[in-house]
Amino acid sequence: MGGILMGGQCFPFVAHVLRGKWFAFYAAMMVMVGSGTSYIYNIYNQAIQDNLGYDDAGMSKIAYYKVVGTWLAIFNGLIVELIPAWFGLFLAATMNFGGYFMTWLSVTRRIPSPEVWQICLYLAVATNAPNFSGTIAIVNSVHNFPMNRGVIVGLLKGLVGLSGAIMAELYHGIYGNDAKGLILLCALLPTSISILSMFTIRNIVKIGRQPNELKAFLNIFYLTILLALFLMVMVLLEKYLIDLAQVAAHTKSAIAITVIALLLLPLIFVIKEEATFWKRVTIEKMPQVLISPTDSSSIQPKEYFFANIFTNRPERGEDHTILQAILSADMFYILLVTLCGYGPALTFIEQLRPIGQALEYHERPIQSIVTLTTIWNYYGRVYSGFVSELLLTKWKLSRSIMISVILLLQGSGMLLIAFPKIPGTYYVASVIIGFSFGAQVSVNLSMTSELFGLKHFATFLNFIQALTPLWIYLMNTKLTKVLYARAAANEIPPEIDPSTLKDLTCTGHHCFKVSFSIFAAMAFIGALVSLQFARRTREFYQGDIYKRFRVAS
Protein backbone atom coordinates (compact mmCIF):
# COMPACT_ATOMS: atom_id res chain seq x y z
CA MET A 1 0.00 0.00 0.00
CA GLY A 2 2.97 2.29 0.64
CA GLY A 3 3.98 1.94 -3.02
CA ILE A 4 0.59 3.22 -4.10
CA LEU A 5 0.92 6.36 -2.02
CA MET A 6 4.58 6.92 -3.00
CA GLY A 7 3.80 6.41 -6.68
CA GLY A 8 1.69 9.52 -7.00
CA GLN A 9 -1.55 7.54 -7.07
CA CYS A 10 -2.89 8.72 -3.73
CA PHE A 11 -6.03 10.48 -4.92
CA PRO A 12 -7.04 7.85 -7.50
CA PHE A 13 -6.54 5.18 -4.84
CA VAL A 14 -8.66 7.07 -2.29
CA ALA A 15 -11.41 7.38 -4.90
CA HIS A 16 -11.06 3.65 -5.60
CA VAL A 17 -11.45 2.82 -1.89
CA LEU A 18 -14.51 5.04 -1.49
CA ARG A 19 -16.16 3.42 -4.52
CA GLY A 20 -15.12 -0.14 -3.66
CA LYS A 21 -17.24 -2.98 -2.35
CA TRP A 22 -15.20 -3.32 0.85
CA PHE A 23 -15.87 0.28 1.81
CA ALA A 24 -19.51 -0.27 0.85
CA PHE A 25 -19.55 -3.17 3.32
CA TYR A 26 -18.00 -0.98 6.02
CA ALA A 27 -20.69 1.65 5.35
CA ALA A 28 -23.29 -1.13 5.69
CA MET A 29 -21.78 -2.03 9.07
CA MET A 30 -22.16 1.57 10.24
CA VAL A 31 -25.76 1.65 9.02
CA MET A 32 -26.50 -1.40 11.16
CA VAL A 33 -24.80 0.25 14.15
CA GLY A 34 -27.43 2.99 13.89
CA SER A 35 -30.33 0.60 13.32
CA GLY A 36 -30.95 -0.52 16.90
CA THR A 37 -32.58 2.60 18.34
CA SER A 38 -35.70 0.63 19.30
CA TYR A 39 -33.58 -1.48 21.69
CA ILE A 40 -32.88 1.51 23.97
CA TYR A 41 -36.49 2.62 24.30
CA ASN A 42 -36.46 1.54 27.96
CA ILE A 43 -33.78 4.16 28.69
CA TYR A 44 -35.79 7.15 27.50
CA ASN A 45 -39.41 6.00 27.92
CA GLN A 46 -39.52 7.35 31.49
CA ALA A 47 -38.52 10.79 30.15
CA ILE A 48 -41.54 10.65 27.81
CA GLN A 49 -43.89 9.78 30.66
CA ASP A 50 -42.45 12.30 33.12
CA ASN A 51 -42.40 15.25 30.73
CA LEU A 52 -45.67 14.58 28.90
CA GLY A 53 -47.67 13.16 31.81
CA TYR A 54 -49.04 10.06 30.10
CA ASP A 55 -50.58 7.30 32.23
CA ASP A 56 -49.58 3.63 32.09
CA ALA A 57 -52.23 2.84 29.47
CA GLY A 58 -50.83 5.55 27.21
CA MET A 59 -47.27 4.31 27.67
CA SER A 60 -48.36 0.75 26.87
CA LYS A 61 -49.92 1.99 23.65
CA ILE A 62 -46.73 3.85 22.72
CA ALA A 63 -44.64 0.74 23.39
CA TYR A 64 -46.97 -1.35 21.23
CA TYR A 65 -46.76 0.95 18.22
CA LYS A 66 -43.01 1.15 18.64
CA VAL A 67 -42.91 -2.65 18.24
CA VAL A 68 -45.27 -2.53 15.26
CA GLY A 69 -43.01 -0.01 13.54
CA THR A 70 -39.98 -2.20 14.19
CA TRP A 71 -41.40 -5.47 12.87
CA LEU A 72 -43.78 -4.33 10.12
CA ALA A 73 -41.13 -4.47 7.43
CA ILE A 74 -42.51 -6.39 4.45
CA PHE A 75 -43.67 -3.19 2.72
CA ASN A 76 -40.18 -1.75 3.14
CA GLY A 77 -38.77 -4.76 1.30
CA LEU A 78 -41.19 -4.36 -1.59
CA ILE A 79 -40.42 -0.64 -1.88
CA VAL A 80 -36.66 -1.21 -1.76
CA GLU A 81 -36.94 -3.46 -4.83
CA LEU A 82 -38.50 -0.62 -6.82
CA ILE A 83 -36.24 2.30 -5.92
CA PRO A 84 -32.49 3.00 -6.08
CA ALA A 85 -30.48 2.26 -2.95
CA TRP A 86 -29.62 5.93 -2.42
CA PHE A 87 -33.29 6.91 -2.36
CA GLY A 88 -34.11 4.14 0.12
CA LEU A 89 -31.37 5.43 2.43
CA PHE A 90 -32.75 8.95 2.01
CA LEU A 91 -36.21 7.71 3.02
CA ALA A 92 -34.69 5.99 6.07
CA ALA A 93 -32.90 9.19 7.08
CA THR A 94 -36.04 11.30 6.61
CA MET A 95 -38.30 8.96 8.58
CA ASN A 96 -35.78 8.46 11.39
CA PHE A 97 -35.07 12.17 11.82
CA GLY A 98 -38.71 13.19 11.52
CA GLY A 99 -39.95 10.65 14.06
CA TYR A 100 -37.31 11.10 16.73
CA PHE A 101 -36.89 14.86 16.29
CA MET A 102 -40.63 15.42 16.74
CA THR A 103 -40.48 13.22 19.85
CA TRP A 104 -37.55 15.25 21.18
CA LEU A 105 -39.35 18.55 20.49
CA SER A 106 -42.35 17.21 22.38
CA VAL A 107 -40.41 15.92 25.38
CA THR A 108 -38.40 19.15 25.72
CA ARG A 109 -41.63 21.18 25.45
CA ARG A 110 -40.46 23.10 22.41
CA ILE A 111 -43.85 22.37 20.84
CA PRO A 112 -47.26 21.95 22.53
CA SER A 113 -47.68 18.61 24.29
CA PRO A 114 -48.99 16.09 21.73
CA GLU A 115 -51.69 13.49 22.23
CA VAL A 116 -50.68 9.89 22.86
CA TRP A 117 -51.56 8.88 19.30
CA GLN A 118 -49.14 11.47 17.93
CA ILE A 119 -46.19 10.08 19.90
CA CYS A 120 -47.29 6.60 18.78
CA LEU A 121 -47.09 7.82 15.18
CA TYR A 122 -43.71 9.52 15.66
CA LEU A 123 -42.08 6.42 17.17
CA ALA A 124 -43.73 3.99 14.73
CA VAL A 125 -42.31 5.99 11.81
CA ALA A 126 -38.89 6.32 13.45
CA THR A 127 -38.56 2.63 14.36
CA ASN A 128 -39.71 1.59 10.89
CA ALA A 129 -36.94 3.63 9.24
CA PRO A 130 -34.15 1.05 9.92
CA ASN A 131 -36.13 -1.46 7.87
CA PHE A 132 -35.24 0.60 4.81
CA SER A 133 -31.58 1.22 5.64
CA GLY A 134 -30.97 -2.23 7.13
CA THR A 135 -32.55 -4.04 4.17
CA ILE A 136 -30.48 -2.03 1.71
CA ALA A 137 -27.29 -2.66 3.70
CA ILE A 138 -27.80 -6.44 3.91
CA VAL A 139 -29.12 -7.02 0.38
CA ASN A 140 -26.39 -5.05 -1.38
CA SER A 141 -23.67 -6.61 0.78
CA VAL A 142 -24.91 -10.13 -0.03
CA HIS A 143 -24.99 -9.22 -3.74
CA ASN A 144 -21.40 -7.97 -3.52
CA PHE A 145 -20.15 -11.04 -1.59
CA PRO A 146 -22.62 -13.81 -2.57
CA MET A 147 -20.31 -16.67 -1.60
CA ASN A 148 -19.95 -15.41 1.98
CA ARG A 149 -23.58 -14.58 2.66
CA GLY A 150 -23.75 -16.41 5.99
CA VAL A 151 -20.80 -14.38 7.22
CA ILE A 152 -22.28 -11.15 5.84
CA VAL A 153 -25.70 -11.64 7.40
CA GLY A 154 -24.17 -12.71 10.72
CA LEU A 155 -21.90 -9.68 10.98
CA LEU A 156 -24.50 -7.13 9.92
CA LYS A 157 -27.37 -8.56 11.94
CA GLY A 158 -24.99 -8.96 14.88
CA LEU A 159 -24.15 -5.26 14.86
CA VAL A 160 -27.86 -4.47 15.17
CA GLY A 161 -27.82 -6.44 18.41
CA LEU A 162 -24.82 -4.43 19.63
CA SER A 163 -26.14 -1.06 18.48
CA GLY A 164 -28.25 -0.49 21.58
CA ALA A 165 -25.23 -0.86 23.88
CA ILE A 166 -23.10 1.26 21.50
CA MET A 167 -25.60 4.12 21.45
CA ALA A 168 -26.04 3.91 25.23
CA GLU A 169 -22.29 4.44 25.75
CA LEU A 170 -22.20 7.31 23.23
CA TYR A 171 -25.19 8.89 24.95
CA HIS A 172 -23.52 8.75 28.38
CA GLY A 173 -20.35 10.25 26.90
CA ILE A 174 -22.17 13.13 25.18
CA TYR A 175 -25.17 13.89 27.39
CA GLY A 176 -24.33 12.27 30.73
CA ASN A 177 -27.60 10.96 32.18
CA ASP A 178 -30.03 13.28 30.40
CA ALA A 179 -32.43 10.83 28.74
CA LYS A 180 -33.90 13.62 26.58
CA GLY A 181 -30.47 13.90 24.95
CA LEU A 182 -30.65 10.24 23.98
CA ILE A 183 -33.79 10.94 21.94
CA LEU A 184 -31.89 13.68 20.07
CA LEU A 185 -28.96 11.29 19.53
CA CYS A 186 -31.40 8.76 18.04
CA ALA A 187 -32.56 11.48 15.66
CA LEU A 188 -29.10 12.62 14.57
CA LEU A 189 -26.75 9.62 14.50
CA PRO A 190 -28.65 7.10 12.30
CA THR A 191 -29.78 9.95 10.05
CA SER A 192 -26.22 11.13 9.51
CA ILE A 193 -24.98 7.61 8.77
CA SER A 194 -27.73 7.00 6.19
CA ILE A 195 -27.07 10.34 4.47
CA LEU A 196 -23.30 9.71 4.31
CA SER A 197 -23.90 6.19 2.92
CA MET A 198 -26.38 7.19 0.21
CA PHE A 199 -23.92 6.90 -2.67
CA THR A 200 -21.63 4.31 -1.09
CA ILE A 201 -23.89 1.30 -0.47
CA ARG A 202 -24.88 -0.16 -3.83
CA ASN A 203 -24.61 -3.28 -5.93
CA ILE A 204 -21.02 -3.56 -7.21
CA VAL A 205 -20.13 -6.33 -9.65
CA LYS A 206 -16.42 -6.94 -10.19
CA ILE A 207 -14.94 -9.59 -12.43
CA GLY A 208 -12.84 -11.92 -10.31
CA ARG A 209 -13.11 -12.86 -6.66
CA GLN A 210 -10.42 -12.17 -4.10
CA PRO A 211 -9.20 -15.51 -2.72
CA ASN A 212 -8.80 -14.24 0.86
CA GLU A 213 -12.26 -12.77 1.34
CA LEU A 214 -13.15 -15.06 4.23
CA LYS A 215 -9.89 -14.22 6.01
CA ALA A 216 -10.65 -10.51 5.71
CA PHE A 217 -14.12 -11.04 7.13
CA LEU A 218 -12.60 -13.04 10.00
CA ASN A 219 -10.32 -10.10 10.84
CA ILE A 220 -13.31 -7.76 10.90
CA PHE A 221 -15.18 -10.32 12.97
CA TYR A 222 -12.38 -10.37 15.58
CA LEU A 223 -12.60 -6.58 15.88
CA THR A 224 -16.35 -6.70 16.46
CA ILE A 225 -15.76 -9.36 19.12
CA LEU A 226 -13.31 -6.97 20.79
CA LEU A 227 -15.97 -4.25 20.69
CA ALA A 228 -18.57 -6.61 22.18
CA LEU A 229 -16.18 -7.63 25.00
CA PHE A 230 -15.44 -3.99 25.79
CA LEU A 231 -19.15 -3.18 25.93
CA MET A 232 -19.80 -6.21 28.13
CA VAL A 233 -17.10 -5.13 30.60
CA MET A 234 -18.52 -1.60 30.69
CA VAL A 235 -22.04 -2.90 31.30
CA LEU A 236 -20.86 -5.15 34.15
CA LEU A 237 -18.89 -2.32 35.75
CA GLU A 238 -21.80 0.10 35.46
CA LYS A 239 -24.35 -2.35 36.83
CA TYR A 240 -22.33 -3.91 39.67
CA LEU A 241 -19.33 -1.80 40.69
CA ILE A 242 -19.87 1.78 39.54
CA ASP A 243 -22.61 4.29 40.18
CA LEU A 244 -22.85 5.86 36.73
CA ALA A 245 -24.21 9.11 38.18
CA GLN A 246 -20.93 9.59 40.08
CA VAL A 247 -18.59 8.86 37.16
CA ALA A 248 -16.69 11.92 35.97
CA ALA A 249 -17.74 13.42 32.65
CA HIS A 250 -14.27 12.97 31.14
CA THR A 251 -14.37 9.23 31.99
CA LYS A 252 -17.70 8.82 30.20
CA SER A 253 -16.27 10.73 27.23
CA ALA A 254 -13.20 8.48 27.20
CA ILE A 255 -15.43 5.39 27.07
CA ALA A 256 -17.41 6.89 24.17
CA ILE A 257 -14.19 7.75 22.31
CA THR A 258 -12.94 4.17 22.80
CA VAL A 259 -16.17 2.84 21.29
CA ILE A 260 -15.76 5.14 18.28
CA ALA A 261 -12.13 4.04 17.84
CA LEU A 262 -13.14 0.37 17.89
CA LEU A 263 -15.78 1.11 15.24
CA LEU A 264 -13.13 2.73 13.03
CA LEU A 265 -10.58 -0.11 13.28
CA PRO A 266 -12.18 -2.28 10.51
CA LEU A 267 -11.15 0.45 8.05
CA ILE A 268 -7.61 -0.97 8.28
CA PHE A 269 -8.70 -4.22 6.62
CA VAL A 270 -11.02 -2.39 4.22
CA ILE A 271 -8.11 -0.30 2.92
CA LYS A 272 -5.84 -3.37 2.80
CA GLU A 273 -8.31 -5.38 0.70
CA GLU A 274 -8.96 -2.47 -1.63
CA ALA A 275 -5.20 -1.99 -2.04
CA THR A 276 -4.89 -5.63 -3.10
CA PHE A 277 -7.69 -5.24 -5.60
CA TRP A 278 -6.26 -1.92 -6.84
CA LYS A 279 -3.07 -3.68 -7.85
CA ARG A 280 -5.05 -6.24 -9.84
CA VAL A 281 -7.10 -3.52 -11.49
CA THR A 282 -4.05 -1.51 -12.55
CA ILE A 283 -2.06 -4.54 -13.71
CA GLU A 284 -4.79 -6.57 -15.40
CA LYS A 285 -7.05 -3.63 -16.39
CA MET A 286 -10.05 -5.37 -14.84
CA PRO A 287 -13.36 -3.61 -15.39
CA GLN A 288 -15.68 -2.59 -12.58
CA VAL A 289 -19.43 -2.35 -13.10
CA LEU A 290 -21.98 -0.68 -10.86
CA ILE A 291 -25.55 -1.95 -10.94
CA SER A 292 -28.48 -0.30 -9.23
CA PRO A 293 -31.79 -2.06 -8.53
CA THR A 294 -33.47 -0.12 -11.31
CA ASP A 295 -30.97 -1.47 -13.86
CA SER A 296 -31.94 -5.09 -13.34
CA SER A 297 -34.85 -4.90 -15.75
CA SER A 298 -32.47 -4.37 -18.61
CA ILE A 299 -30.58 -7.54 -17.73
CA GLN A 300 -33.29 -9.90 -16.50
CA PRO A 301 -36.11 -11.18 -18.71
CA LYS A 302 -39.50 -9.69 -17.90
CA GLU A 303 -41.41 -11.67 -15.29
CA TYR A 304 -45.13 -11.79 -14.66
CA PHE A 305 -46.30 -11.57 -11.06
CA PHE A 306 -48.84 -14.41 -11.23
CA ALA A 307 -47.00 -16.60 -13.74
CA ASN A 308 -45.74 -20.11 -12.89
CA ILE A 309 -46.73 -19.98 -9.24
CA PHE A 310 -47.43 -23.71 -8.97
CA THR A 311 -46.14 -25.08 -12.29
CA ASN A 312 -42.78 -24.71 -14.07
CA ARG A 313 -41.29 -23.42 -10.86
CA PRO A 314 -37.55 -22.61 -10.81
CA GLU A 315 -35.13 -24.98 -9.12
CA ARG A 316 -33.88 -24.29 -5.62
CA GLY A 317 -31.16 -21.67 -5.75
CA GLU A 318 -32.58 -19.97 -8.84
CA ASP A 319 -34.36 -16.63 -8.62
CA HIS A 320 -38.00 -17.10 -7.59
CA THR A 321 -40.76 -14.57 -7.99
CA ILE A 322 -42.27 -13.29 -4.77
CA LEU A 323 -45.39 -15.47 -5.00
CA GLN A 324 -43.42 -18.53 -6.09
CA ALA A 325 -41.35 -18.28 -2.91
CA ILE A 326 -44.11 -17.28 -0.50
CA LEU A 327 -46.45 -20.06 -1.66
CA SER A 328 -43.79 -22.77 -1.72
CA ALA A 329 -43.48 -25.70 0.69
CA ASP A 330 -39.94 -24.58 1.52
CA MET A 331 -41.19 -21.21 2.77
CA PHE A 332 -43.84 -23.00 4.84
CA TYR A 333 -41.09 -24.97 6.58
CA ILE A 334 -39.09 -21.79 7.22
CA LEU A 335 -42.11 -19.97 8.67
CA LEU A 336 -43.01 -22.96 10.86
CA VAL A 337 -39.48 -23.15 12.25
CA THR A 338 -39.53 -19.37 12.77
CA LEU A 339 -42.79 -19.65 14.72
CA CYS A 340 -41.25 -22.26 17.03
CA GLY A 341 -38.07 -20.23 17.49
CA TYR A 342 -38.65 -16.49 17.21
CA GLY A 343 -41.95 -16.32 19.12
CA PRO A 344 -40.82 -18.01 22.38
CA ALA A 345 -37.41 -16.29 22.35
CA LEU A 346 -38.87 -12.82 21.91
CA THR A 347 -41.47 -13.53 24.58
CA PHE A 348 -38.64 -14.45 26.95
CA ILE A 349 -36.89 -11.15 26.17
CA GLU A 350 -40.14 -9.25 26.80
CA GLN A 351 -40.56 -11.07 30.14
CA LEU A 352 -36.97 -10.75 31.41
CA ARG A 353 -37.91 -8.24 34.10
CA PRO A 354 -41.02 -10.09 35.42
CA ILE A 355 -39.04 -13.35 35.49
CA GLY A 356 -36.27 -11.73 37.53
CA GLN A 357 -38.80 -10.18 39.90
CA ALA A 358 -40.60 -13.52 40.33
CA LEU A 359 -37.27 -15.12 41.26
CA GLU A 360 -36.68 -12.22 43.71
CA TYR A 361 -33.65 -10.66 42.05
CA HIS A 362 -32.86 -7.03 42.77
CA GLU A 363 -33.29 -4.34 40.11
CA ARG A 364 -29.60 -3.87 39.35
CA PRO A 365 -28.92 -7.52 38.38
CA ILE A 366 -32.11 -7.54 36.32
CA GLN A 367 -30.96 -4.48 34.37
CA SER A 368 -27.57 -6.08 33.71
CA ILE A 369 -29.21 -9.28 32.45
CA VAL A 370 -31.45 -7.28 30.09
CA THR A 371 -28.39 -5.57 28.57
CA LEU A 372 -26.19 -8.66 28.48
CA THR A 373 -28.91 -10.65 26.72
CA THR A 374 -28.64 -8.26 23.77
CA ILE A 375 -24.86 -8.78 23.68
CA TRP A 376 -25.27 -12.57 23.69
CA ASN A 377 -27.82 -12.06 20.93
CA TYR A 378 -24.95 -10.48 18.97
CA TYR A 379 -22.63 -13.42 19.68
CA GLY A 380 -25.28 -15.82 18.40
CA ARG A 381 -25.71 -13.89 15.16
CA VAL A 382 -22.04 -13.60 14.27
CA TYR A 383 -20.94 -17.07 15.39
CA SER A 384 -23.80 -18.85 13.63
CA GLY A 385 -23.04 -16.96 10.43
CA PHE A 386 -19.40 -18.09 10.40
CA VAL A 387 -19.99 -21.61 11.70
CA SER A 388 -22.86 -22.39 9.31
CA GLU A 389 -20.75 -21.06 6.41
CA LEU A 390 -17.85 -23.30 7.47
CA LEU A 391 -20.07 -26.38 7.80
CA LEU A 392 -21.61 -25.67 4.41
CA THR A 393 -18.26 -25.10 2.70
CA LYS A 394 -16.32 -27.98 4.27
CA TRP A 395 -18.93 -30.69 4.74
CA LYS A 396 -21.96 -29.61 2.65
CA LEU A 397 -24.17 -29.57 5.74
CA SER A 398 -27.52 -27.87 5.33
CA ARG A 399 -28.07 -24.75 7.40
CA SER A 400 -31.32 -26.24 8.67
CA ILE A 401 -29.27 -28.87 10.56
CA MET A 402 -27.70 -26.03 12.49
CA ILE A 403 -31.18 -24.58 13.11
CA SER A 404 -32.11 -27.92 14.72
CA VAL A 405 -29.13 -27.72 17.07
CA ILE A 406 -29.95 -24.10 17.91
CA LEU A 407 -33.58 -24.92 18.72
CA LEU A 408 -32.52 -27.82 20.95
CA LEU A 409 -30.29 -25.35 22.80
CA GLN A 410 -33.14 -22.85 23.06
CA GLY A 411 -35.49 -25.53 24.39
CA SER A 412 -33.02 -26.33 27.17
CA GLY A 413 -32.93 -22.64 28.09
CA MET A 414 -36.73 -22.52 28.23
CA LEU A 415 -36.72 -25.51 30.59
CA LEU A 416 -34.34 -23.64 32.91
CA ILE A 417 -36.95 -20.88 33.20
CA ALA A 418 -39.79 -23.36 33.66
CA PHE A 419 -37.91 -25.20 36.44
CA PRO A 420 -35.50 -22.61 37.95
CA LYS A 421 -34.69 -24.44 41.15
CA ILE A 422 -30.93 -24.45 40.62
CA PRO A 423 -29.31 -21.13 41.67
CA GLY A 424 -28.12 -19.05 38.73
CA THR A 425 -30.47 -20.55 36.14
CA TYR A 426 -31.84 -17.07 35.36
CA TYR A 427 -28.39 -15.97 34.20
CA VAL A 428 -27.64 -19.17 32.31
CA ALA A 429 -31.03 -19.16 30.57
CA SER A 430 -30.61 -15.55 29.47
CA VAL A 431 -27.27 -16.42 27.86
CA ILE A 432 -28.62 -19.55 26.16
CA ILE A 433 -31.84 -17.99 24.83
CA GLY A 434 -30.18 -14.70 23.83
CA PHE A 435 -27.48 -16.61 21.93
CA SER A 436 -29.89 -19.07 20.29
CA PHE A 437 -32.30 -16.35 19.16
CA GLY A 438 -29.51 -14.40 17.50
CA ALA A 439 -28.17 -17.56 15.87
CA GLN A 440 -31.54 -18.34 14.28
CA VAL A 441 -31.74 -14.92 12.65
CA SER A 442 -28.49 -15.24 10.69
CA VAL A 443 -29.01 -18.85 9.61
CA ASN A 444 -32.66 -18.39 8.57
CA LEU A 445 -31.94 -15.36 6.40
CA SER A 446 -28.88 -16.95 4.77
CA MET A 447 -30.86 -20.12 4.02
CA THR A 448 -33.69 -18.11 2.48
CA SER A 449 -31.33 -16.32 0.11
CA GLU A 450 -29.84 -19.66 -0.98
CA LEU A 451 -33.16 -21.37 -1.65
CA PHE A 452 -35.01 -18.56 -3.42
CA GLY A 453 -32.23 -16.52 -5.02
CA LEU A 454 -31.15 -12.92 -4.53
CA LYS A 455 -33.41 -11.11 -6.97
CA HIS A 456 -36.20 -10.54 -4.42
CA PHE A 457 -34.11 -11.03 -1.30
CA ALA A 458 -35.15 -7.60 -0.02
CA THR A 459 -38.77 -8.80 0.17
CA PHE A 460 -37.98 -12.29 1.48
CA LEU A 461 -35.70 -10.79 4.16
CA ASN A 462 -38.62 -8.86 5.62
CA PHE A 463 -41.40 -11.35 4.88
CA ILE A 464 -39.92 -13.86 7.33
CA GLN A 465 -40.33 -11.41 10.20
CA ALA A 466 -43.68 -10.01 9.03
CA LEU A 467 -45.65 -12.35 11.30
CA THR A 468 -43.41 -11.73 14.32
CA PRO A 469 -45.76 -9.14 15.94
CA LEU A 470 -48.54 -11.73 15.77
CA TRP A 471 -46.33 -14.40 17.39
CA ILE A 472 -45.35 -11.97 20.17
CA TYR A 473 -48.98 -10.93 20.74
CA LEU A 474 -50.23 -14.52 20.97
CA MET A 475 -47.38 -15.94 23.04
CA ASN A 476 -46.70 -12.95 25.26
CA THR A 477 -50.08 -11.29 25.77
CA LYS A 478 -52.52 -14.17 25.26
CA LEU A 479 -50.46 -16.99 26.80
CA THR A 480 -47.64 -15.94 29.12
CA LYS A 481 -49.34 -12.96 30.78
CA VAL A 482 -52.62 -14.85 31.20
CA LEU A 483 -50.91 -17.84 32.84
CA TYR A 484 -48.81 -15.49 34.99
CA ALA A 485 -51.94 -13.68 36.19
CA ARG A 486 -53.56 -17.02 36.97
CA ALA A 487 -50.55 -18.12 39.01
CA ALA A 488 -50.55 -14.77 40.83
CA ALA A 489 -54.28 -15.07 41.60
CA ASN A 490 -53.67 -18.46 43.22
CA GLU A 491 -51.38 -16.79 45.77
CA ILE A 492 -54.07 -14.37 46.97
CA PRO A 493 -55.85 -15.36 50.19
CA PRO A 494 -59.42 -16.64 49.65
CA GLU A 495 -60.98 -13.71 51.48
CA ILE A 496 -59.60 -11.19 48.92
CA ASP A 497 -61.26 -10.71 45.56
CA PRO A 498 -58.51 -10.64 42.83
CA SER A 499 -60.60 -8.24 40.70
CA THR A 500 -60.24 -5.56 43.38
CA LEU A 501 -56.45 -5.52 43.05
CA LYS A 502 -54.84 -3.18 40.55
CA ASP A 503 -51.73 -5.27 39.84
CA LEU A 504 -51.24 -8.99 40.34
CA THR A 505 -47.68 -10.11 41.06
CA CYS A 506 -46.41 -13.65 41.33
CA THR A 507 -43.37 -14.70 43.32
CA GLY A 508 -41.75 -18.10 43.13
CA HIS A 509 -40.50 -20.85 40.81
CA HIS A 510 -43.99 -21.72 39.60
CA CYS A 511 -44.88 -18.36 38.01
CA PHE A 512 -43.68 -19.21 34.49
CA LYS A 513 -43.65 -22.98 34.75
CA VAL A 514 -46.53 -23.76 32.38
CA SER A 515 -45.86 -21.13 29.71
CA PHE A 516 -42.15 -21.87 29.38
CA SER A 517 -42.76 -25.61 29.40
CA ILE A 518 -44.94 -24.98 26.35
CA PHE A 519 -42.19 -22.88 24.78
CA ALA A 520 -39.64 -25.62 25.41
CA ALA A 521 -41.93 -28.13 23.68
CA MET A 522 -42.32 -25.73 20.74
CA ALA A 523 -38.54 -25.43 20.40
CA PHE A 524 -38.10 -29.21 20.39
CA ILE A 525 -40.88 -29.60 17.81
CA GLY A 526 -39.21 -26.89 15.70
CA ALA A 527 -35.94 -28.85 15.89
CA LEU A 528 -37.67 -31.94 14.50
CA VAL A 529 -39.33 -29.91 11.73
CA SER A 530 -35.97 -28.41 10.82
CA LEU A 531 -34.40 -31.88 10.64
CA GLN A 532 -37.13 -32.92 8.22
CA PHE A 533 -36.41 -29.77 6.20
CA ALA A 534 -32.72 -30.72 6.15
CA ARG A 535 -33.66 -34.12 4.69
CA ARG A 536 -35.88 -32.39 2.14
CA THR A 537 -33.09 -30.05 0.97
CA ARG A 538 -30.18 -32.49 1.35
CA GLU A 539 -29.67 -33.01 -2.38
CA PHE A 540 -29.59 -29.26 -2.99
CA TYR A 541 -26.93 -28.63 -0.37
CA GLN A 542 -24.84 -31.62 -1.50
CA GLY A 543 -24.37 -29.81 -4.82
CA ASP A 544 -22.48 -26.60 -5.56
CA ILE A 545 -25.02 -23.98 -4.46
CA TYR A 546 -22.65 -21.12 -5.36
CA LYS A 547 -21.84 -22.38 -8.84
CA ARG A 548 -23.46 -19.44 -10.60
CA PHE A 549 -21.28 -17.01 -8.62
CA ARG A 550 -17.96 -18.68 -9.33
CA VAL A 551 -16.14 -16.54 -11.86
CA ALA A 552 -12.63 -17.32 -12.98
CA SER A 553 -10.25 -14.81 -11.55
Single-letter amino acid, residue 438: G
CATH of domain 303-492+500-544: 1.20.1250.20
Tell me the C-alpha distance between 31 and 290, whole Å.
Answer: 20
pLDDT confidence tier of residue 285, bands split at 50, 70 and 90: low
Question: What does the pLDDT read at residue 295?
Answer: 40
Name the DSSP letter for residue 298: G
Q: Is the pLDDT of residue 482 over 70?
A: yes
How far apart, in whole angstroms, are the C-alpha atoms of residue 227 and residue 395?
Answer: 31
**Per-residue pLDDT at 296:** 40
Task: Specify the pLDDT at position 470.
Answer: 78
Residue type for position 284: E
C-beta atoms surrounding 349 within 10 Å: 18
More confident residue, 109 or 165: 109
pTM of the model as a whole: 0.86
**338 confidence band (pLDDT: 50, 70, 90):** very high
User: Cβ(79)–Cβ(109) under 8 Å?
Assistant: no
Q: For position 2, what pLDDT does the model report?
A: 55
| pLDDT at residue 421 tops 60 | yes
Q: Which percentage of the chain shows pLDDT scores above 70?
A: 87
DSSP string over 391-438? HHHHH---HHHHHHHHHHHHHHHHHHHHS--STTHHHHHHHHHHHHHH
pLDDT averaged over every residue in the chain: 85
In degrees and rounded to multiples of 5, residue 203 shows phi and psi of: -80, 115
Contact yes or no for 371/235 (Cβ under 8 A): yes
The distance of Cα 381 from the centroid of its chain, to the nearest Å, equals 8
CA–CA distance, 260 with 213 (Å, rounded to integer): 25
Which of 258-267, 343-352, 373-382 is modeled with the greatest confidence? 258-267
Residue 307 has pLDDT above 70, yes or no: no
Residue 201's pLDDT band, with cuts at 50, 70 and 90, is: very high
Residue 465 binned pLDDT confidence (cut-offs 50, 70, 90): confident
**Where is mean pLDDT largest: 31-35, 50-54, 364-368?**
31-35
Out of 3.30.420, 2.60.40, 1.10.3470, 1.20.1250, select the CATH number for domain 23-293.
Answer: 1.20.1250
Q: Tell me the average pLDDT across 133-137.
A: 94
Identify the top-confidence range among 111-115, 471-475, 519-523: 519-523
> Domain map of the chain by residue range?
23-293, 303-492+500-544
Q: What percent of the chain has pLDDT over 90?
A: 44
Q: Give residue 206's pLDDT.
A: 58
The number of C-alpha atoms within 13 Å of 205 and in the hemisphere containing its C-beta is 10
Query: Is the separation of the CB atoms in 162 and 36 below 8 Å?
Result: yes
390 vs 293: CA distance, rounded Å:
30
pLDDT for 524 equals 97
Topology alike, domains 23-293 and 303-492+500-544: yes
**Among candidate residues 159, 127, 15, the one with its CA nearest the CA of residue 167:** 159
CA angle 387, 391, 392 (to 5 degrees): 115
Instruction: Name which of 353, 359, 400, 407 is nearest 523 in CA terms.
Output: 407
Do residues 211 and 552 touch, judged by C-beta distance below 8 A? no
Lowest pLDDT segment from 233-247, 297-311, 340-354, 391-405: 297-311
